[in-house]
Structure 1
């Protein structure tokens, strides 16, 4: 077996991916805002995102975009946390550089994950992309510490930050109203009523006053 194959096998044996609907992997890490634990954010939504490296062009644009969404996410009781496999000193130098060169202050903590401990727990390292840099992953953790959604992007392409804010809003709508959100849903749009689970309920559904296209697809105002 060649060295690369052995490296891949070792990596996949060590990696444990988070699972939707289960508790997010607990972590304690050094950040630009001091030591932080996932448990510190219990009662809040957490948007944990990884980036490949400090002082890189796409990541810099993303950090400025995330900073622009920080206040809106904060108003939704959601905390941003960044991560890359760089040192805390590199993170500090980079966020200071962004403020100096672009006039954008980075208000959220950034995890220094030199030992790749958090990155491995969250499946952020994809050897097909890089063995030393995290892909652009985003994890949505609810106030109870449950993993609710995950998005992965390659190293080459920056994220669309409004979609991340939209998904937080959609998840909160689901929790608050007990509904689903359709494709391209935006706040204020109609939501989807859960489909009936019995024949009797299906027959009743069309008479309940919802906007129904058929018994299994009905909309209501949020």
Structure 2
């Protein structure tokens, strides 16, 4: 995928948001952040998404993750739209900032431009993109959805758990992994190293090849 992607450093752009102006690196700080774009204010799928993001904000906060929304509409539009979002998702408050990008410059820098869609004036519109950024300001994971498909918050929470687990230990997470499930030890870790790093022990899958590359442990 061209443009900003996994392993790239997040541009330190100054942005105007519903919570004031700031630079992206300052907002991320030493923690984690999820930066997500939506095609437009007052649109159906986006209204459900931003409400769900608000509903999950506490869970993300427990993991040291900040949220940052973005669309090309202006601040006034965002603030008016927030009323609809909160009304549709009762009990939730949109406490996270939403970036305004009426000149459509920020979406270009963040690789959040829909390759096909244009607005009524022929200008580019944001894709339904999402970047998870670590404290080192690098992009750790990117999702790109079509406008017709809303994001699954449980999956976003799951991958945050996976990324943070991998960052803390030399492990990876297998298919369908969720918090509390066994993880797999990195192939770069020898069995001798694994004994020292994982004193709780690990299990080696018995495979036809007899190669001991699939090792499970709990961390």
TM bracket, shorter-chain basis:
0.7 to 0.9
Determine if contact 2:132/2:141 at 8 Å carries over to the other structure. yes
**In structure 1, how many angstroms separate the alpha carbons of the residues matched to 2:31 and 2:154?**
19
What aligned pairs does 1:1-222 form with structure 2 within 5 A after superposition?
A: 17-40=3-26, 41-100=28-87, 102-103=89-90, 104-130=92-118, 131-196=123-188, 201=190, 210-213=202-205, 214-222=211-219
Q: Which contiguous aligned blocks of 4+ residues in structure 1 show a shift greater than 4 angstroms?
A: 204-209
Q: TM-score, normalised by structure 1?
A: 0.84
**In structure 1, how many angstroms separate the alpha carbons of the residues matched to 2:214 and 2:24?**
38
Determine if contact 1:139/1:151 at 8 Å carries over to the other structure. yes
Cα displacement (A) at 1:98:
2.5
Determine if contact 1:16/1:122 at 8 Å carries over to the other structure. no
Q: Which has the higher strand share?
A: 2
**Secondary structure, counterpart of 2:46 in structure 1:** helix
Q: Which has the higher helix share?
A: 1
Q: How many residues align?
A: 204
Q: TM-score, normalised by structure 2?
A: 0.86
Cα displacement (A) at 1:101:
5.2
Determine if contact 2:134/2:140 at 8 Å carries over to the other structure. yes
Q: Which range moved further: 122-131 or 38-47?
A: 122-131
- The runs of 5 or more residues in structure 2 that have no matched partner are 206-210
